[in-house]
Amino acid sequence: MNKIIVSIVFAIVLVIGINVITDTIYYVEKPKKSAYQIDSVTAVANTTAETSSVDVNTGNIMALFASTNAVEGAKVFKKCAACHSISQGGGNKIGPALWGVLGRKAGSISDYKYSKAMVAYAKPWSFEEMDGFLIKPKDWIKGTKMSYAGIKNAKDRAAVILYMNENTDNPLPLQ
């Protein structure tokens, strides 16, 4: 019995000793600056809080357009491309084709079966409407069959809206 206890204690001391020795040999100082710099934590939190309300201010989305571009929107749109086509003449997929969606009345593509809620909504897609919808589609239009959780980041939403505005024959003016 004594040999077993001594063996266990010796094994524990050996493991702890090796750990201390390797920590001493391979010591790495923490960097003075973080590898991932966050420019403005408070600005991100404020922007998210402001735009997550259902009552979106008209000026917010327009102000965000200045901080992003359609190229960024194309990157973010890759998530949307699983269900939507945005190319001219592109057909409907799980969701309707989005070529020329801004300025078009919601639920108006004739060869797509929209939910009753989307057809009844029938408002034209403006920048503000699209921004509100993309935050959380099921909250913006109760009863929509779009099951996407939404885009929480306001800058990403603005970029996607700019990208959608470029993919049309009649882009809406950015004023």
* pLDDT for 163: 93
CA pseudo-torsion sign 82, 83, 85, 89: positive
Secondary structure (3-state) at 129 = helix
pLDDT at 170: 87
| CA–CA distance, 172 with 129 (Å, rounded to integer) | 13
pTM of the predicted model, to two decimals? 0.64
Residues 6+ apart with CB under 8 A from 66: none
Query: Which pLDDT score is estimated for 31?
Result: 77
Q: Is 114 helix (H, G, I), strand (E, B) or coil?
A: coil
Query: In Å, how far from its chain's centre is CA 92?
Result: 22
Contact, 63 vs 155, CB < 8 A? no
Q: What is the pLDDT of residue 174?
A: 81
Q: Does domain 41-166 have CATH number 1.10.760.10?
A: yes
Report the alpha-carbon distance of residue 122 to residue 105 in Å, rounded: 6
pLDDT tens per residue, range 91-145: 899 999 999 999 999 998 889 999 999 999 989 999 999 999 999 999 999 999 8
Distance (Å, rounded) from C-alpha 58 to C-alpha 54?
12
Per residue in 2-49, pLDDT tens? 999 999 999 999 999 999 999 889 888 877 777 776 665 444 444 444
64-91 average pLDDT score: 90
Distances (CA, A) of 36 to 31, 33, 39, 48: 11, 9, 10, 20
Does residue 59 or residue 174 have the better pLDDT?
Answer: 174
Give the start-to-end residue ranges of the domains of the chain. Answer: 41-166
* pLDDT for 54: 38
